Structure 1
Amino acid sequence: MRGISWRRADLRAADIRTGLKWKLSAAIAMVGALVAVALSLVVHNAARVSMLDNARDLADERIQIAQRNYELSGRPNFPNVKVDDQDLPEPLRDKVRQGRRATYVTDSAGGGPDIWAAVPVQDGRVLSLHSGFTDRSTDILKDLDQALVIGSIAVVLGGSAIGVLIGGQMSRRLRKAAVAAGQVAKGETDVRVRDAIGGVVRDETDDLARAVDAMADALQQRLEAERRVTADIAHELRTPVTGLLTAAELLPPGRPTELVLDRAKAMRTLVEDVLEVARLDGASERAELQDILLGEFIVRRVAAKDPDVEVRVVHESEVTTDPRRLERVLFNLLANAARHGKPPVEVSVEGRVIRVRDHGPGFPEALLAEGPSRFRTGSADRAGRGHGLGLTIAAGQARVLGARLTFRNVRPAGAPEGVPAEGAVAVLWLPEHAPTNTGSYPMLP
């Protein structure tokens, strides 16, 4: 049972993906094949019945001629006409006994039809004619079947080609819409799905694109409204918190004063962090670029922040970036490692890549899957303190720098997912070129 469950899970994981154009092509090909087969059968049977009717009419005319010859001369004087043939089919014999002239069709041993015609004569005897399907009729029927097969194949192939063309066009439009929607999801608010798919003909894809654009606009307006409210609240709190901190500094020395000062400073830090997040969300921040030696810069900043943190420069490189924002990202990563991880905390610089590692329980799975989220402190084993803004600010400042910030956990080689992590690693990938796409401007050193 365990093996069966594993195989079922494996099959569910192996998500079979098929393009829309191939599905549409297969559907059109199947419908075309069914229609072609049905029409071929109808045409084949109609042609065969028509030929048999013509053959029976011809046999009926011949047996009448043989009847007149027999009545005049006593002999039929016609090829294939016999008198009292013992092989006459019994249904046809019954008709003749009733005094009727009739024709009859049977299947021969060779597979082709046999045509019979019989008529009673005056002396009570029976004249009968036995003939097979003519070779010309058989050839015509074979040629017709061959033409129907070729036509059916042509219909299926043509339908498949049309399906590929139509499905390919729809697939391209949907793929463009998916790419544009992904760009909107990444925060590129100027991207419009309807403009991305293009085209003149209106169809359901246009309705979907307009719905996505409307949803993105509504979501953007809501996010902007929430950002403004957050910024306004933080800005309004700034003045009373500053006054509270000033008043607390005037209190007489003692433990109560220390507690009030500590909480007031924590509140001021929180307000400043919220304001910084609001500015980063508004995409109004600009990087002030300078050329720096990355390894030397990291060594000096980490030594000033925490001398116990080990810094290793694997490969020195000169980068163009904003030192203040880079320092902000670095200090937030170090603070997160010190608060939620375990020592030793290590920093390594290799070219344009900065790694900050601790030896704690690792990042929460939600953070690894979705990235940093404000006011979410993570799982119980790596959380419980803070407001979840440190990594959010680090990720936002990294975007201003045009850099990429990633997170992963360190596990023993070959260990399954259930094994606890041996540490967490945050990696900052600085861009090769200055982040001009963020609207930044170079600043002379």
Structure 2
Amino acid sequence: MGRWWPRGLRPRLLAGFALVTVLGSLAATWAITESAGEALVASNQRRISETVSGQIGAVTHEVSHPPDQAALDRLRDSVGTDTLVVFEDLRSVDGTETDLITDGLREAVRAGDRVVTQRVVDADRPWLLVGAPVMITAPDGERTPSGIEVYTVRDLSAVQEEVDALVRAAAVAGAAVLLLATLLALFTARGVLRPVRELRDTARRLAAGDLDARTEPQGVDELAELTVTINEMAESVQGSMESMERMRADARRFAADVSHELRTPLSTLTAVTEVLAASTEDMAEDARESARMAISETQRLVRLVEDLMEVSRFDAGSARLREEEVDMVSAVRDTLRARDRLDQVEIHAPEELPVRVDRRRLDVIVANLVGNALRHGEPPVRVSVFADRTHVNLVVTDGGPGLSEHVVPHVFDRFFKADAARTRTPGSGLGLAIALENARLHDGDLTAGNGDDGGARFVLRLPRASGDIDPGRERGVRG
């Protein structure tokens, strides 16, 4: 039933209307035709019984008692064809349909003093059997059976045709009612579903980001109340989103402003730490350790400010690509060599693989991915470079325990750290977020997961070089 029942609201309304109408029409048709048919048959049965009784009564006074064969024949002729008249051993019969007279009818006639009827069906035709005893009336009015029994058979086919015509008329009327109910259902469904469709369209616009979408309430029914509620919800969501966007914009602007303001004093502080680093050998052990800690924290602060400024450029949409033809394999090796990590990483790559990228941003991506694998994973760390028909792929894997399920969705979140206890790690918590933004700036993508061996697996996909990219073209990040 569930498989065949329509799923849409409009088809269900129409199907419900049609089902109720059909059931009601069938019930009404059956009741009407049964009642009318029975009344029609009963009326004809009563008319036939009265006619037969009158025909018998018209000649009864002419019949002597006991009757002879001629008297029985005269009585039979007065009743009509298909009639049987019986008196003891005498019989007068006319017609072949008298074979339909049943023993039950004869017993009822002999046991009573009135006309008896019985309906039978033979060869799909309805028949009415009528039996009546001929009564003798004494001078004092007492009536006694004469022993003469009259039986006649009447064809009810004409009556049955009238009943069939009545059924057909009821069926036609039911079909008309069904059509009318369908039209009414269509009209009602249209009126009911129009506000529902409008609410659906409004919900879709809201889901697509159009927070100004509203539906004008119509009427004072439950749908109008639902429309008002959805409009109020949309206003609340719009207010919350606008407030959140203002807060995010303020936070981004604050980070950018702070980072910019910190650049100058940090540059000075960096110069001082370089001088301090050159003179640590002449310091006492305690002072030397404090100086090294100050130098390390200063360098970490500088990297954090640089990452914050880079993130602020992404947020502001001012990041630009400076694409050039680059050998992907050589660029990866240069990145690892510059950070003294060639001997810590296994490289699986072809001899060369040209691609158009921003070399500086590719260096940032590779450095962040490999640095993350070395800091948080376990050996061996592998970098695989290969190409398919449309993309160049760089895969970084490690032999560590991999990423837990709750970590994977947040790997690229800003300032996210899988282990809350590692609050003093050298990273800023922005490296993977910056790597993802750089990948998207190239119209590529960066995904995280676990390899078949259980370690973490990061996959960078960048579009291959195409002839429609002009050399040296600058491209801004898309908002």
Q: TM-score, normalised by structure 2?
A: 0.62
Moved more, 344-353 or 107-116: 107-116
Of the candidates 424, 429, 438, which is equivalent to residue 388 of structure 1? 429
Partner of 2:40: 54
Three-state SS of the structure 1 residue aligned to 2:413 is coil
Q: Taking every aligned residue pair, what percent have the same amino acid on both sides? A: 21
Give 1:426 deviation, angstroms: 0.8
Of the candidates 397, 400, 422, which is equivalent to residue 441 of structure 2? 400
Partner of 1:442: 473
Three-state SS of the structure 2 residue aligned to 1:287 is strand
Structure 2 residue 329 is the aligned partner of structure 1 residue 307: no
Partner of 1:13: none
Inter-partner Cα distance in structure 2 for 1:222 and 1:345: 40
Q: Is the 8 A contact 1:348 1:354 kept in 2?
A: yes
Partner of 1:3: none
Moved more, 211-220 or 31-40: 211-220
Moved more, 132-141 or 229-238: 132-141
Inter-partner Cα distance in structure 2 for 1:403 and 1:349: 15
Partner of 1:236: 258
Highest RCO, 1 vs 2 (Cα 8 Å, sep ≥ 6) = 1
> CA separation of 1:379/1:154 partners in 2, compared to 1, >3 Å: closer, same or farther?
farther
Of the candidates 332, 357, 363, which is equivalent to residue 403 of structure 2? 363
Q: Is the 8 A contact 1:295 1:317 kept in 2?
A: yes
Q: Is the 8 A contact 1:67 1:121 kept in 2?
A: no
Three-state SS of the structure 2 residue aligned to 1:273 is helix
Q: Is the 8 A contact 1:231 1:274 kept in 2?
A: no
> CA separation of 1:138/1:17 partners in 2, compared to 1, >3 Å: closer, same or farther?
closer
Partner of 1:65: 51
| Structure of larger gyration radius | 2
Partner of 2:382: 346
Q: CA deviation digits over 1:126-169, x for unaligned, max 9?
A: 9998767635257547867987999999999999999xx99x99
Q: CA deviation digits over 1:303-335, x for unaligned, max 9?
A: 223222232323744322222222222211112
Partner of 2:98: none
Correspondences of 1:408-427 after superposition (within 5 Å): 408-412=449-453, 421=454, 423-427=455-459
Give 1:290 deviation, angstroms: 2.1
> CA separation of 1:181/1:69 partners in 2, compared to 1, >3 Å: closer, same or farther?
same
Partner of 2:415: 375
Correspondences of 1:27-42 after superposition (within 5 Å): 28-29=14-15, 32-42=18-28
Give 1:222 deviation, angstroms: 1.4
AA aligned to 1:337 is A
> CA separation of 1:301/1:215 partners in 2, compared to 1, >3 Å: closer, same or farther?
same
> CA separation of 1:396/1:158 partners in 2, compared to 1, >3 Å: closer, same or farther?
farther
Q: CA deviation digits over 1:246-285, x for unaligned, max 9?
A: 4562667321122122223223322332333333234442
Three-state SS of the structure 1 residue aligned to 2:457 is strand
AA aligned to 2:412 is P
Q: Is the 8 A contact 2:17 2:182 kept in 1?
A: no
Q: Is the 8 A contact 1:314 1:350 kept in 2?
A: yes
Q: Is the 8 A contact 2:40 2:163 kept in 1?
A: no
> CA separation of 1:19/1:32 partners in 2, compared to 1, >3 Å: closer, same or farther?
closer
> CA separation of 1:226/1:151 partners in 2, compared to 1, >3 Å: closer, same or farther?
same
Give 1:31 deviation, angstroms: 5.0
AA aligned to 1:304 is A
Moved more, 272-281 or 380-389: 380-389
Q: Is the 8 A contact 1:25 1:161 kept in 2?
A: no
Unaligned runs of 5+ in 1: 1-15, 196-201, 413-420
Partner of 2:218: none
Partner of 1:290: 324
Aligned-residue Cα RMSD (Å) equals 5.7
Q: Is the 8 A contact 2:18 2:178 kept in 1?
A: no
Moved more, 143-152 or 312-321: 143-152
Three-state SS of the structure 2 residue aligned to 1:365 is coil
Partner of 1:332: 368
AA aligned to 1:356 is V
Q: Is the 8 A contact 2:17 2:185 kept in 1?
A: no
Q: Is the 8 A contact 1:105 1:116 kept in 2?
A: yes
Partner of 1:223: 245
Q: Is the 8 A contact 2:322 2:473 kept in 1?
A: yes
Q: Is the 8 A contact 2:21 2:178 kept in 1?
A: no
Structure 2 residue 313 is the aligned partner of structure 1 residue 279: yes
Three-state SS of the structure 2 residue aligned to 1:266 is helix
Three-state SS of the structure 2 residue aligned to 1:219 is helix
Inter-partner Cα distance in structure 2 for 1:181 and 1:55: 68
Give 1:340 deviation, angstroms: 0.9
Paired residues, number: 400
Give 1:405 deviation, angstroms: 0.8
Q: Is the 8 A contact 2:397 2:451 kept in 1?
A: no
Q: CA deviation digits over 1:219-250, x for unaligned, max 9?
A: 36513532432431452265357536745626
Q: Is the 8 A contact 2:106 2:131 kept in 1?
A: no
Inter-partner Cα distance in structure 1 for 2:305 and 2:438: 17
> CA separation of 1:288/1:178 partners in 2, compared to 1, >3 Å: closer, same or farther?
farther
Give 1:177 deviation, angstroms: 8.3
> CA separation of 1:22/1:232 partners in 2, compared to 1, >3 Å: closer, same or farther?
same
Q: Is the 8 A contact 2:303 2:428 kept in 1?
A: no
Give 1:50 deviation, angstroms: 1.6
AA aligned to 2:416 is R
AA aligned to 2:257 is H
Moved more, 38-47 or 124-133: 124-133
Q: Is the 8 A contact 1:194 1:213 kept in 2?
A: no
Three-state SS of the structure 1 residue aligned to 2:332 is helix
Give 1:297 deviation, angstroms: 2.2
Partner of 1:12: none
Inter-partner Cα distance in structure 2 for 1:292 and 1:364: 35
Moved more, 169-178 or 28-37: 169-178
Q: CA deviation digits over 1:353-409, x for unaligned, max 9?
A: 111111111123234345521222125799984453221111122111111111120
Unaligned runs of 5+ in 2: 61-74, 87-101, 138-142, 215-222, 281-287
AA aligned to 1:264 is T
Partner of 1:11: none
Moved more, 48-57 or 277-286: 277-286
